[in-house]
Structure 1
Amino acid sequence: MTTLVVCVDRSNDISRKTGLQMPVAGWEAVHALVTDVGLADPEDSSVNCLLEALRVARDLRDEQEDAVVAVVGGVGDSLVGADRSVAGQLDDLVDRYDPDSAIVVIDSAQDERVIPIVESRLTVDSVDRVVVRQAHDIESTYYLLKQFLGDEELRSTVLVPLGVGLLLLPLLLTQFGPQVALAALASLLGAVLLYKGLAIDDRLAAAVDRARDALYSGQVSIVTYVVAAGLTLVGLFLGALAVGDLQTDVQYVRILLFTYRSVPWLALAALTASMGRLLDELIRADGARRPFINLPFGVFAVGLVVRGFSGYFLEQEGVLGNLRLPNGLVLTPLERLAIFIVAGLVVSLVGVGVAASVREETLDEVVEQ
């Protein structure tokens, strides 16, 4: 049984500092590599990782087990290229030594992400994480701070928001006092933490890419989304105007009136957006899926029901007058609510029927083909 003791260097620091090509395999080769790396950078934790790989291989040999020690490094301009390079080196080691299992030696969380690549080729018996013990004094703290300041991602994530907050703090203190200044500073830092913690920057970048792809591919939905955003603003504006003219301080009445005035525009906005998505689905070769056919009807039905309930409560409060039909018939609040509810249910059922019929036609076409 042969065990491959492999030291992983995903960042490829060992190869850059020594000029050697990866992989490096064999006891003597790795033993000499330790000296080369140590002379190039005595502070590099890779020295300890290489020594740990040698120690593990020695212990296995003492137990009368065949062990091959090797070092692989990620060569490439990107993480994907580096991982593919590591995969190729592992394939080379497997072809050369035909090991039965592997023991992975790493010294950082970044190297740990390569473990699935090793597991896809060999059975991993153990993962040996090397943690370097440091003296907790002023000098070691200085070097840790130096390494922290050298990390570009950490600088942009921690130091930039902290610097902005410290710059704003004196201005806020002189203009608004300590309570407002501390509250604003805490809000700023909290927003930054949420921005990074929820990966909003990645989501925004992905949204921009999706919007660009939609424009290039000629999707109708990108236009209908813009129209829907405009209709949403109109609805919110009209709702705010209605609340502003209301002569009452009762909060739930103001909320109901805002809902009553804005719901038609908000429903129209949602209907426009869903119709754009439905058109995109219809343009596709495989036709529209059932949820996208149901969506416009569902949006319209929900809008009717919400407007009906809000109108009913507003009539009870005397804010709205009774609904008068074209034939002169005046409806009571309860009758008005019943009409809106029935209309919503009918629209919803029509949507279900249309979706079912369209889906059956699609299935029949597939069967005929």
Structure 2
Amino acid sequence: MSTLVVYVDRDRGGRHDGTTVGWEAVQALVTDIGLEDPEDSRVNCLLETLHVARDLSDGGEETVVAVIPGDGEGIKTDREVARGIDQLIGEYDLDAAVVVIDSAGDERLVPVIESRIRVDAVDRVVVRQSHDIQSTYYLLKQFLGDEQLRGTVLVPIGAALLAFPILLFLADNVAVALSAIVGVIGMFLLYKGLGIDSLVSRLPAVIRDGFYSGQVSLVTYVVGAGLALIGVFAGGISAAGTDETAELLIGLRFLFYSVPWFAVAALTAATGRLIDELLAEDGVSSALMNLPFGIVAVGLVVRGFTGYFLERADLLDPVVVPAVTAGAVSVDGFIVSIWGRLVVYVAAGILVSLIGVAFTSRMANDRPFEEFPE
């Protein structure tokens, strides 16, 4: 097996133009370039080429060392390198190649070489003294070449830099301008990090498919969103009507009055999804069947605990059971204690949850078993 170890330099040719082949010729080229300019990075690349060839030769492989320089004129250089590779393949019985490069621009020549001979490895040489600078430049160039990364990182940074002087001029306050920019950047990062952008991009297709296929869940989702907005409105009105200044109590009051609407909204959406699954041929999963019961149970428990805290803070009246008379039987009215109210809500939530588990298990057991072919 004969391996070509070739160093290609697309940007520089200088007085050492032409293909150089052979161990002694490359050693002489190293001396000439080093004496002419000891700081030239080609010295390290030529030495790396000899180093790789020596390691392969020590491993029992037959190697051919070559250097193909260019003049940095784009397509002309690429064709010169292609002609040099063709000449080497014609003169030597080559099976594979190892390409040595020292910059990101030289990597453009790798596909040209691969089109003529199998490339087993690409060795990119980075001078140790300038490792950080050259690696940073290389990574930055790769980053700027990625369209998706540019749109994700550079666009928000550019928009923030443009928005800062505008906000500073309008608000005349550095803190306000910085807070607005940081808030927008935070929202953007959450928008990208939580994958909301992919959901938004798929939303039109999902809505279109829902209209065309006649899915019930599409209507129930809209109804659920409307009910959730009603819950926000109802909770906001109740929270704004309190005289308390404690943020915790205001939040509990909002939650207490909005939870029933949120639960009904989620129940409506889940019911539509359940109907779609029942109409489909794939069947309904146990988790989906149990979802409505779980929503009701969580709503009852949250309502019970928020009511307990509000009643303890004297922001909610106790539950009064009126007197009931039915013929000869009469029951006097009474006031449900604060603990009794909490126990009733929690017990109702647990009961609904258990009913959901029992219903789901019963439906799963009633399903006919599928017959599998032997």
Asked if TM exceeds 0.5, the reply is yes
Q: Note the C-alpha offset of 1:221.
A: 2.4
Q: Which amino acid aligns with 2:365?
A: E
Q: Note the C-alpha offset of 1:225.
A: 2.0
Match of 1:254 among 232, 250, 262: 250
Partner residue in 2 for 1:337: 342
Deviations 1:265-319 (A, max 9, x none): 0110111122122223222323211111111011111111222222233333333
Task: Tell me, yes or no, if the aligned pair for 1:27 and 1:54 is still in contact at 8 Å.
Answer: no
Partner residue in 2 for 1:130: 124
Going from structure 1 to structure 2, the CA distance change for 1:150 and 1:347 (only over 3 Å counts) comes to closer
Q: Note the C-alpha offset of 1:230.
A: 1.3
Task: Tell me, yes or no, if the aligned pair for 1:281 and 1:287 is still in contact at 8 Å.
Answer: yes
Match of 2:268 among 262, 269, 272: 272
What is the distance in 2 between the residues matched to 1:147 and 1:252?
A: 50
Moved over 6 A (4+): 39-42, 51-55, 102-108, 143-148
Q: Which amino acid aligns with 1:156?
A: G
Q: Matched residue of 2:370: which SS?
A: helix
Going from structure 1 to structure 2, the CA distance change for 1:312 and 1:192 (only over 3 Å counts) comes to closer
Task: Tell me, yes or no, if the aligned pair for 2:294 and 2:356 is still in contact at 8 Å.
Answer: yes
Q: Note the C-alpha offset of 1:231.
A: 0.9
Q: Which runs of 5+ in 1 are unaligned?
A: 3-25, 43-47, 69-98, 112-125
Partner residue in 2 for 1:230: 226
Going from structure 1 to structure 2, the CA distance change for 1:135 and 1:223 (only over 3 Å counts) comes to farther
Task: Tell me, yes or no, if the aligned pair for 1:304 and 1:340 is still in contact at 8 Å.
Answer: yes
Task: Tell me, yes or no, if the aligned pair for 1:52 and 1:130 is still in contact at 8 Å.
Answer: no
Q: Note the C-alpha offset of 1:368.
A: 11
Partner residue in 1 for 2:167: 172
What is the distance in 2 between the residues matched to 1:178 and 1:57?
A: 61
Going from structure 1 to structure 2, the CA distance change for 1:165 and 1:360 (only over 3 Å counts) comes to same
Partner residue in 2 for 1:78: none
Task: Tell me, yes or no, if the aligned pair for 1:298 and 1:348 is still in contact at 8 Å.
Answer: yes
Task: Tell me, yes or no, if the aligned pair for 2:231 and 2:260 is still in contact at 8 Å.
Answer: yes
Task: Tell me, yes or no, if the aligned pair for 2:220 and 2:272 is still in contact at 8 Å.
Answer: yes
Alignment map for 1:71-150 (pairs within 5 Å): 130-133=124-127
Task: Tell me, yes or no, if the aligned pair for 1:282 and 1:288 is still in contact at 8 Å.
Answer: yes
Q: Which runs of 5+ in 2 are unaligned?
A: 15-43, 65-94, 108-119, 325-332
Deviations 1:215-264 (A, max 9, x none): 54443323322221111110010011111222333433322221221111
Going from structure 1 to structure 2, the CA distance change for 1:170 and 1:39 (only over 3 Å counts) comes to closer
Task: Tell me, yes or no, if the aligned pair for 1:134 and 1:140 is still in contact at 8 Å.
Answer: no
What is the distance in 2 between the residues matched to 1:178 and 1:253?
A: 33
CA RMSD, Structure 1 to Structure 2 (Å): 4.7
Q: Note the C-alpha offset of 1:148.
A: 6.6
- Count of aligned residue pairs for this structure pair: 285
Q: Note the C-alpha offset of 1:103.
A: 9.6
Task: Tell me, yes or no, if the aligned pair for 1:305 and 1:344 is still in contact at 8 Å.
Answer: yes
Greater mean alpha carbon deviation, residues 59-68 or residues 343-352: 59-68
Partner residue in 2 for 1:45: none
Q: Matched residue of 1:366: which SS?
A: coil
Q: Note the C-alpha offset of 1:201.
A: 3.3
What is the distance in 1 between the residues matched to 2:306 and 2:197?
A: 38
Partner residue in 2 for 1:309: 305
What is the distance in 1 between the residues matched to 2:234 and 2:13?
A: 68
Partner residue in 2 for 1:357: 362
Q: Computing the radius of gyration over CA atoms, which structure comes out larger, 1 or 2?
A: 2
Task: Tell me, yes or no, if the aligned pair for 2:126 and 2:134 is still in contact at 8 Å.
Answer: no
Aligned-residue sequence identity (percent) comes to 44
Partner residue in 1 for 2:296: 300
Task: Tell me, yes or no, if the aligned pair for 1:304 and 1:344 is still in contact at 8 Å.
Answer: yes
What is the distance in 1 between the residues matched to 2:200 and 2:48?
A: 43
What is the distance in 2 between the residues matched to 1:103 and 1:351?
A: 66
Task: Tell me, yes or no, if the aligned pair for 1:263 and 1:306 is still in contact at 8 Å.
Answer: yes
TM-score, normalised on structure 1? 0.60
What is the distance in 2 between the residues matched to 1:226 and 1:186?
A: 33
Q: Which amino acid aligns with 2:162?
A: L
What is the distance in 1 between the residues matched to 2:241 and 2:13?
A: 74
Q: Which amino acid aligns with 2:124?
A: V
Match of 1:162 among 157, 160, 164: 157
